[in-house]
Structure 1
């Protein structure tokens, strides 16, 4: 049996035709907070932060479509927008999140995402500015900027982005041949020693790591489709927003490792172009900061929620 977040109730919430999400919910009062996980994880990555926030907020932790115990619809066989399928566009996934919150009775909510979940959160903030009250992003750049800064040998760190951007077939076959090695590579490479469980403990307890690997190996086609969308339809949506001047109008907080300096760009400046009301901070931990530095992440979220637009 997969681990769960202690004290949270689990729901299966329909968000679209034939698509339902697995959602963990706890707490009451305060601003509702939706927490979106990253790759290659599930909602469990929020287990420390969510438990703290639930003391005075309603906390909603879904598995994104295509991940964890949520439904994994097949990528549309025919192009449907701008020459690309939209099944796993961040616009579609953002609409899922809005649908979940509304089903739970919340027309407005704060939204915080890590990695892939942060890309969904940004799209939700751009598409639903009257719904997302506050927005937080952990260790990622907006999609368009991510592609813009990847160049030269430094882009090798993002080899998986290019692999999963390829047309259907080869990426799924290659990753599906050794899924635990592929997904485990990122869990090992992107985490620093120690973390949430204590200085001598691993970032991912055995049962959590096993849950991440099992969920990922069962979702290879949908995970690849999510990444493929980020090299196609998501770029088209971001370009349209950049050209129209659409920005994130709510308070935004961004936490990142200081990898911008290593790759030769100013991450805070890139974010500021999208978010006029921005607090940008670097943190001294690995990529999986909600599990490696949960107290710091929780404080940043609480500070974000005190800001007014």
Structure 2
């Protein structure tokens, strides 16, 4: 099956670290917007949003380190898949493409990378948008009791190297397909060719995906804790779009995000988790409104 693409976008391969290059689709012209994908996806989750934004922005859609067609270094230490490292990748990618300052939007895992990029690189990230996620530190605090079963994969992939990789590699397609099915309200939003691409790309990246999640149970919590204790906040305008998970999981999402931003716009949306594919017009409009502020 032919790998789907974003029409009108060109593919770039940019070295961002020793032995690590990112695959990125780039298109459009105008002020730069960088879009970071989630799990279990690749940069193609942005195909509709990116095509819309390319009318008046330069749009950069990378595969994160460890995902898609980007390099997947071995997990030789906790820092290899720390969000701090992955955030640095993104800043270096944008700079290599000629953009030292940009609007950054992320979904799911990409939103965690975007959060760390915005915290660590406020000189590079002018505005930030986060889709359907909580900051890592708050996420672990929100998951408790039987309601935490929705995040079973977080606990599985937090385990020491070996067991989670073996379990997932034993049946990668049903594992990753579970999330595409369970988290989507509109099944038609992810067509067969894109779904097949996501499943194949994820099955080929099990060790690095697990390493990404494992980092979120360790070093990423440490980094967030340092910022929380120091009172550090996001320095730029912030938009957060989320489903209404608070009632089910027992947390107040707007309140948790407000602790990290004094310039927050928080909105609850009615589509499923994969909102950039289920309601791309809304997401493109929100990113454009933030980028053009």
TM range (shorter): over 0.9
Instruction: Give the structure 1 partner of residue 171 of structure 2.
Output: 178
The 4+ residue runs of structure 1 with deviation greater than 2 A are: none
User: 1:138: which partner in 2?
Assistant: 131
Q: Which residue of structure 1 lines up, in the alignment, with residue 110 of structure 2?
A: 117
TM-score, normalised via structure 2 length: 0.99
| Separation in 1, partners of 2:199, 2:63 | 14
Q: 1:51 corresponds to which residue?
A: 51
3-state secondary structure, aligned to 2:66? coil
Q: Structure 2, unaligned stretches of length 5 or more? A: none
- Could you tell me how far 1:120 is from its partner in structure 2? 0.2
1:1-309 correspondence runs (5 A): 1-29=2-30, 31-76=31-76, 79=77, 85-193=78-186, 202-307=188-293
The Cα shift of 1:193 comes to 2.3
* Partners of 2:42 and 2:63 within 8 A in 1: yes
Shift of 1:246: 1.1
The 2-side partners of 1:44 and 1:266 are apart by 31
- RMSD value, Cα: 0.7
Shift of 1:5: 0.7
Q: Measure the CA separation in 2 of the matches of 1:188 and 1:6.
A: 26
Q: Which whole-Å CA distance do the structure 2 matches of 1:218 and 1:210 have between them?
A: 12
**For 1:58, what is the secondary structure of its paired residue?**
strand
The 2-side partners of 1:262 and 1:165 are apart by 23
Whole-angstrom distance in 1 between the partners of 2:191 and 2:160: 35
Q: Deviations over 1:198-245 (max 9, x none)?
A: xxxx12111100000000000000000000000000000000000111
Q: Is the 8 A contact 2:33 2:291 kept in 1?
A: no
In 1: Cα distance, 2:16 partner to 2:29 partner: 22
Q: Distance in 1 between matches of 2:60 and 2:227?
A: 28
